[in-house]
Chains A and B, each alone.
Chain A
Amino acid sequence: MREVKVVSNAATHKRGFGAVLWDYLTTVDHKKVAHLYLFGGGFFFLVGGLEAMLIRIQLVKPNSEFLSNGLYNEVLTMHGTTMIFLAAMPLIFALMNAIIPLQIGARDVAFPFINSLGFWLFLFGGLILNCSWFLGGAPDAGWTSYAPLSTTSPGHGVDFYVIGLQIAGAGTLIGGINFLVTIVNMRAPGMTYMRMPLFTWASFITSILILFAFPALTVGLFLLMFDRMFDSAFFDVSLGGNAVIWEHIFWIFGHPEVYILILPLFGLFSDLFSTFSKKRLFGYTAMVFATMLIAFLGFMVWAHHMFTVGLGPVANSIFAIATMAIAVPTGIKIFNWLATMWGGQITINSAMLWALGFIPTFTLGGMTGVMVASVVADYQYHDSYFVVAHFHYVIVGGTIFGIFAGLHYWWPKMFGKILHEGMGKLTFWTFLIGFHLTFFIQHFLGLMGMPRRYSTFAPNQGLDLGNLISTIGAFFMAFGVIVFVINVFYTAAKGEKAPDDPWDGRTLEWATASPPAHYNFKQVPLVRGLDPLWIEKTEGKGKMTPSEPLGEIHMPNPSILPFMMSFGLFVAGFGFIYQVDNKAWLAVVVIGMGITFGSMLIRSLKDDLGYHITKEELEREAD
């Protein structure tokens, strides 16, 4: 390896592996944090996908003995937990990190240090959770971890769930706060709220959801942790606790969580339909308010996950109607997207394909959403494969399709290369067909009497064929994902260099280089309306007018401290888990917390004022 001195502010010259690694471990640049989230989330997406395949292989035929019942529950739990917390959320954070500062014309996020801390917390939380596989068994009480099953589950599986999610959840919470402040404070001159692109708008509202929803999760996990590790009895009925309260706490977090997963992608789709139809978004204001309304109602409907708990007809009716109400703003969005394309000139490439595939898929998911909201009908759907089908239609059809759309769309901005179109289309079609094969049939399986979370089913109950078709579909999806991974490596090695604005974009991220310089904009642009770049293009300039003269840029220094703080919690996590068996493990808690608090102390005491890029340096860098 070559001797390289790491110069943090030197942009891109070839460096050795060690240097690149160190760069990523210490980076506070939102674009690199985005890469980290992408690879972290992508890795867990593959893990979760592998778990999904194990589930479907087990269910390919009745009475199958591929996985034992206990192992099946672990795989099932980890699939759900991984996909929601360790794949979908971080991948959304990858897109948000990569794009939001660019879309609002900012040089950076509000708290670069916290941004990187958020990532490392997520990663170490995810690692702890997955360590459980090798240390005596994964959690097995479902991603919802209902008590008392979760409080009485033997072994340490659920402890890993509690600690892992607590750490990862803290990362998400501070990440959300960071975006909130960034969008409030760092918008370029002229970027009023009602000129923000929909992706930024939706991410903004999502961040508010994170701010209110994640503390509920934190509290719930603490209670569960105390019950399991320190002999409290919040959920122990025999000692005066209450088990149903866990369901409330979980869903007060959990229902907003599903909107956290979908809203940013709604925003992204809005941007995509507008860009690839060459039209401004139809009903912009309505879209913004619909997003807010969905977010608000998202907090009001948690008990629709609990229609069968026995809350009584009054509560059930209220929650049913509140739930149905969400379909109205969601419908407004669908129609506005169609109206955006109406009269436009639609370009179909692999990014747009995902957006187009989203519309029928998600509409079907929303349709079954209204169906499950109808209480008495839900007495049949609940906890059956019908619900499995419903939420995969919305989460995969919305979130995962959206993430793929976003990756194909923004890959050139993130990596300076365009993903291979042919492979992109192959991924889309196999995934789409596989998806509908897998999940459409599950609506019927559910109604035909197949409960969810079943490790096996009996032959000759009418469930054999549906399950077989479902498994075949899953293999198509897996194939699509593999092609995508190949595409990523192929593009990295051979992909064509992307121009700054490959899609004839309308928003500010396309006004910078691909990939952007580490300070994003040499001069912060002046925003004169919605779709600022488009305005400049139609007026013949094609370039943003700067809002300031060329001058010094202040940048934050890289730091290893976020990594160290998270690593400390990772170590302490094992201490907490194992001190139940042997109090000597408390020493590990002390060591781990020592690392974390030590790092925090250093952070507090050491002046770190960052550095400046001088005007001369900026002038030297070619336009």
Chain B
Amino acid sequence: MKGWMGKFRALTLFGSLALILSGCGQENLSALIPKGYGAEKSLDLIILTAVIMLFVLIIVMILYVTVLVRFRKKKGQKDFIPKQVEGNKTLETIWTVIPIVLLIIIAVPTVTATFDLADQSEASKSLNVEVTGNQYWWHFNYEGEEIQTSQDLYIPTGERVYLNMKSSDVIHSFWVPAISGKMDVNPENENTMFIEAYEEGVYYGKCAELCGPSHALMDFKIIAVSPEEFDQWVEDMKNVDPEAVAEGETAQQGQALFQESNCMGCHAIGSSPVQVGPNLTNFGERTQVAGILDYNKENLISWIMDPESIKPGNKMTGKYPDLSEEEASKIADYLMQLKPSSITPEDAGK
């Protein structure tokens, strides 16, 4: 008897302890703190199913504990032969029918929500973004606006944004837990989902389908800003001059090196749809280097010099001549100047 009590206590204890210590996880990452339409729908169902199922669990546990306390062979108790019961139609009917009823209670809102989230009736009136999953980075093309970005997706709050998603290589999965559930990104067909963020903020996104050695490093961000700020951002982005000359001597040398070292073979600045590597138009406003490192010059230099050590298996490694630390530093100076918009992630942070 001590056994199950101990176990049960330990279980509840650790569960609640973990919850208290970590809250519901980190804001802007956790599915338990929804900040968007899809995430809210999911959480409603998570709570509904969890409550109903906890109810079942509690009933099972009450019966279980009662059985163990009442019918366990006690010390010194003589053997007796219990009545050999075959079954009981009434009881068995009860525990068949009740679960069916409970499941119907779950099934109805589940199906409703499924169709709700698959709704595409507003797609033609809304902002559409073409999303491409690549080993191990994300490309975003704002349809009709000729804006290309990567890693950071800017969206306006309070509006549905339709994502038309496809992969350029293996299967990935697009997941921003605080905004919406995930959707796979397949190589053969376009999957469409919509997202809607309620509040401004920088939301963490992750690739959820195993896609190679750097699967865990395929992070991205959704940057939700007010609709006015978003319009401003679009305006700024459309007016980028990809040829603009950098400021300062080292940055200018960096810009030249960037051209000479074949970086443009894969990357683009401006609205060119090159997709071998991330578009760098607004690289200076990125929240992180390569999606995972803190945004600073040091990290950028190490990335340029040896991307393999940061994201194993990535497709930048070995595609350009070796660069000295000095050269890499100059290129970094140039890239960190690429700030075409007055709207930055800071505008999303409250």
- Seen from chain A, the residues whose Cβ lies within 8 Å of a Cβ on chain B are 68-70, 73, 140-142, 146, 148-149, 152, 237, 242-244, 277-280, 282-286, 308-310, 312-313, 316-317, 320-321, 324-325, 327-328, 331-332, 334-336, 338-339, 341-348, 353, 356, 359-360, 363-364, 367-368, 370-371, 373-380, 382-384, 429, 432-433, 436-437, 440-441, 444, 447-449, 451-458, 460-463, 465-466, 469, 538
Contacts and interface: CB of A to CB of B under 8 A. Distances in A.
B216 A436 contact: no
Contact of A70 (B57, B175, B191, B312): B312
A332 B96 CA distance: 6
Given A243-B188, A317-B111, A343-B71, A152 B170 contact: yes
Contact of B92 (A321, A336, A353, A383): A336
Contacts of A368: 53
A343 B85 contact: yes
B292 interface: yes
Interface stretch (B75-83, B138-146, B232-240, B247-255): B75-83
Given A359-B60, A449-B26, A331 B87 contact: no
Interface of A is mostly: helix
Interface stretch (B12-20, B149-157, B277-285): B12-20
A320 B171 CA distance: 23
A604 B57 CA distance: 57
Contacts, number: 322
A344 B85 CA distance: 10
B25 A447 contact: yes
A313 B115 contact: yes
Given A70-B312, A146-B171, 20 more contacts: A68-B213, A73-B210, A243-B187, A320-B110, A332-B92, A343-B71, A346-B68, A360-B60, A363-B56, A367-B56, A374-B46, A383-B175, A384-B175, A384-B208, A447-B46, A449-B31, A449-B177, A462-B22, A465-B18, A469-B14
A310 B183 contact: yes
Nearest to A152: B170
6 contacts: A282-B87, A283-B86, A383-B209, A453-B216, A454-B216, A465-B21
Among B21, B57, B183, B184, the most chain A Cβ lie within 10 Å of the Cβ of B184
Nearest to B211: A149
Contacts of A243: 171, 186-188
Given A375-B110, A429-B3, A447-B25, A277 B71 contact: yes
Contacts of B29: 448-449, 461-462
Interface stretch (B36-44, B223-231, B332-340): B36-44
Contacts of B173: 308, 382-383
Given A279-B84, A342-B67, A360-B61, A69 B214 contact: yes
Contacts of B64: 338, 359-360
Interface stretch (B100-108, B265-273, B315-323): B100-108
B215 A454 contact: yes
A398 to B, nearest CB: 15
Given A345-B71, A377-B42, A308 B11 contact: no
Contacts of A73: 210, 212-213, 215
Contacts of A316: 114
Contacts of B95: 331-332, 335
B18 A374 contact: no
B50 interface: yes
A317 B114 CA distance: 7
A356 B84 CA distance: 21
Interface string B174-199: 01011011111011110100000000
Among B3, B80, B114, B209, the most chain A Cβ lie within 10 Å of the Cβ of B114
B113 A375 contact: yes
B125 interface: no
Contacts of B80: 345
A528 B171 CA distance: 58
A371 B42 CA distance: 11
B193 to A, nearest CB: 8
A309 B72 contact: no
Contact of A367 (B14, B38, B54, B210): B54
B307 interface: no
B13 to A, nearest CB: 11
A244 B166 CA distance: 13
B327 to A, nearest CB: 27
Contacts of A317: 110-111, 114-115
B305 interface: no
A114 B22 CA distance: 55
A286 B86 CA distance: 11
Contact of B18 (A280, A327, A444): A444
Given A379-B183, A432-B7, A436-B7, A447 B31 contact: yes
7 closest A-B pairs by CB = A379-B181, A448-B25, A462-B26, A310-B191, A367-B53, A454-B216, A283-B87
Among B11, B77, B215, B312, the most chain A Cβ lie within 10 Å of the Cβ of B215
Contacts of A463: 25-26
Among B19, B86, B95, B117, the most chain A Cβ lie within 10 Å of the Cβ of B95
Given A310-B183, A458-B292, A465-B18, A447 B30 contact: yes
B99 A327 contact: yes
B347 interface: no
B92 A286 contact: yes
Among A73, A364, A448, A455, the most chain B Cβ lie within 10 Å of the Cβ of A448
B182 A383 contact: yes
Contacts of B186: 243-244, 309-310
Contact of A334 (B31, B60, B181, B215): B60
A379 B103 CA distance: 19
B35 interface: no
Nearest to A279: B82
Contacts of B188: 237, 242-244
A306 B151 CA distance: 26
B171 A379 contact: no
Contacts of A277: 71, 82
A282 B85 contact: yes
B211 A440 contact: no
A378 B180 CA distance: 11
Given A328-B96, A345-B73, A440-B14, A308 B182 contact: yes
A485 to B, nearest CB: 23
B312 A68 contact: yes
Given A243-B188, A375-B110, A379-B183, A440 B11 contact: yes
Contacts of A284: 86-87
A51 to B, nearest CB: 16
A280 B99 contact: no
A308 B183 contact: yes
B114 A320 contact: yes
Given A284-B87, A367-B53, A376 B82 contact: no
Among A277, A320, A374, A429, the most chain B Cβ lie within 10 Å of the Cβ of A374
A346 B72 contact: yes
A363 B99 CA distance: 13
Contacts of B191: 310
A3 B213 CA distance: 56
B216 A457 contact: yes
Contacts of A453: 210, 215-216
A447 B177 CA distance: 8
A158 to B, nearest CB: 12
Given A448-B22, A462-B22, A367 B85 contact: no
